[in-house]
Amino acid sequence: MAPTSSNTLGVVLIGHGSPATDCPPQLVGELMSLEWRQHSTGHGHEAPGGRAAELDAQIRDWPRRADNDPYQAGLERLAQALRPLLPTSRFTVGYNEFCRPSIAEAIEQVIAQGATRVLVLPTMLTPGGVHSEIDIPRALDEVQRAHPDKTIEYLWPYDLQQIAGLLASHVERAARGPLAHGTRHHA
């Protein structure tokens, strides 16, 4: 996936994001309540303001470590595996909510590194979710308006046959014997 001479390629891997386990739950609860109220009054498309923006920043800026945010640690491991497969691309990770960098911040990072074309890959695999179908496209539209000279492409939805093939392959490997990275759960 080498960029053309006129396009320097940026790739942004987008994860959902999760509050750090030691972030006070009342902060997260208050933010979610404010966001739900904004959404239910028909203003869900607007960026959070006031107290919601303050809480969003506080939660996103909460110190992260593998022990207090295993989701972020897992996404970073995926990014480490993906990065060498895309050696000519500017590459970073962004989060839909709860973590930094935000989607917009991540795209701004690869643009600042010289990307003129940005490909956005969400980790949400199946259609139907509000984040992949509404939130992420809105964030991309906002960044696109700020950078009309750049190309921002959302590489979603994924081919469900390819996803099914990946899952079937995983089942086939497990059926031949325990997976080294799998976890066994007993009833």
What per-residue confidence (pLDDT) applies to 37?
Answer: 86
Do 35 and 126 belong together in one domain? no
Rounded distance, CA 90 to CA 39, Å?
34
Do 93 and 126 belong together in one domain? yes
Mark which of 10, 43, 61 sits at the end of a domain: 61
Do 34 and 15 belong together in one domain? no
135 vs 2, 102, 170, CA distance in Å?
29, 12, 30
Please enumerate in sequence order all residues whose Cβ is within 8 A of that of 88, keeping only pairs 6 or more positions apart, or say none: 1, 2, 3, 9
Do 55 and 131 belong together in one domain? no
Rounded distance, CA 66 to CA 38, Å?
32
Instruction: Specify the CATH number for the domain of residue 184.
Output: 3.40.50.1400
**Amino acid identity, position 35:** E
Q: For the segment 8-20, what is each residue's pLDDT rounded down to a tens digit?
A: 999 999 999 999 9
This model's pTM is above 0.85: yes
Do 57 and 79 belong together in one domain? no
With tokens 């795209």, the residue in question is: 107
Do 155 and 140 belong together in one domain? yes
Q: For the segment 72-87, what is each residue's pLDDT rounded down to a tens digit?
A: 999 999 999 999 999 9
Do 15 and 33 belong together in one domain? no
Domain that holds residue 55: 24-61
Strand pairing category for 9-15 and 117-122: parallel
Q: What's the number of domains the chain is made of?
A: 2
Do 36 and 12 belong together in one domain? no
Q: For the segment 98-144, what is each residue's pLDDT rounded down to a tens digit?
A: 999 999 999 999 999 999 999 999 999 999 999 999 999 999 999 99
Do 80 and 13 belong together in one domain? yes
Picking from 63, 66, 60, 65, the residue whose alpha carbon sits closest to that of residue 48 is 60
Do 46 and 86 belong together in one domain? no
Do 130 and 163 belong together in one domain? yes
Do 46 and 129 belong together in one domain? no
Using only C-alpha atoms, the chain has a radius of gyration, in whole angstroms, of 18
